Amino acid sequence: MTMLDETTYDAAVRARSVGYYRNRRLILADVNLTITAGGRWVLFGPNGVGKSTLLEMIAMRTYPNVGELHVLGGRTVAGSDPERRRARVATVSAAFGHNIGSEMNPLTVVASGIPRGTKDSADEAYEKAYAMMRRLGIAYLTGKQWRNLSEGERTRVMISRALVSPADLLIFDEPTTGLDLGGRETVLRELSALASREDKRTMLLVTHQVEDIPAGFDHIAMMGRMTEHECMTYLDTHPRIYATLDGNTTPGTITFTGPLDEGLTDERLESMFGVPLHVERTGQRWRASHRLRFA
């Protein structure tokens, strides 16, 4: 189920020279990114590089200070994105799960993904929610309380909520955080199945672990930090920003976009994480390990 408007677009996300600063600190600079509509993309990078800030902008919860960001065919501008536009982006994250009442029924959580004001009645919303839970194999959770669910079960409920929503862009923000090995593999298997379906919605998975990339996601946007020299060159062309800052000359930026197997190389990961790494693909999954160096 998708909510479409009259606008046609070939890119679900298009960022052009996007920058963001807050509290006199430069967080993102010169971000250029095009995520194709209907694509299966990974946003990859180390902690603290600005992935969460970029997601906040894509979800229209905050806005660039510099440059242009277009999401689902429309430019995002502070004060001009009504709730119906934000409803076209659904995010699955552990942070959202922490805000759910401890006694809430998982069926109610899933049904809440259908915005009020749609043509669905309350009964129809619950019917669709239950059907989605059955599809993902978690109908047995109906009637339980949120506090009694495992982290893996909570994640699967939130995935169901995103899928039953009218969103055109689905964001999975580190969905395996806090899961044990079994829970992680269950969630990754379900995300892989979703990515392989004939679903025209765009899917964006955010992670800092190559092992958490499900099969079926085939393009990647990699984030890293600017060098101080690169940042100073950037600021020379943006004097208005320069005048407001008092720290951080290594903001986050996009360092690579393209096919997954071209982005995940030993050299790129070593540069990104600062340690010698070897990355390899087994079947449709990835694995990174420390690379020994011999004199």
Spatial separation of the C-alpha atoms in residues 193 and 139, rounded to whole Å: 18
Is 151:159 a contact under the CB 8 Å cutoff?
no
Average pLDDT over every residue of 201-222: 96
Whose tokens are 């990699």? That residue is 222
CA dihedral defined by 225, 226, 232, 238, rounded to 10 degrees? Answer: -80
Helix (H, G, I), strand (E, B) or coil at 223: strand
Spatial separation of the C-alpha atoms in residues 121 and 89, rounded to whole Å: 22
Average pLDDT over every residue of 215-219: 95
Q: What is the DSSP string of 123-145?
A: HHHHHHHHHHHHHTT-GGGTT--
Is 152:111 a contact under the CB 8 Å cutoff?
no
Residues 237-291: pLDDT tens digits? 888 777 777 766 789 999 999 999 999 999 999 999 999 999 999 988 999 998 7
Residues 68-111: pLDDT tens digits? 999 998 888 777 766 777 889 999 988 788 889 999 999 999 99
The domains located in the chain, with CATH, are 1-88+167-181+197-265 (3.40.50.300), 89-165 (no CATH)
Spatial separation of the C-alpha atoms in residues 136 and 109, rounded to whole Å: 15
pTM for this predicted structure: 0.88
Res. 6: pLDDT tops 50: no
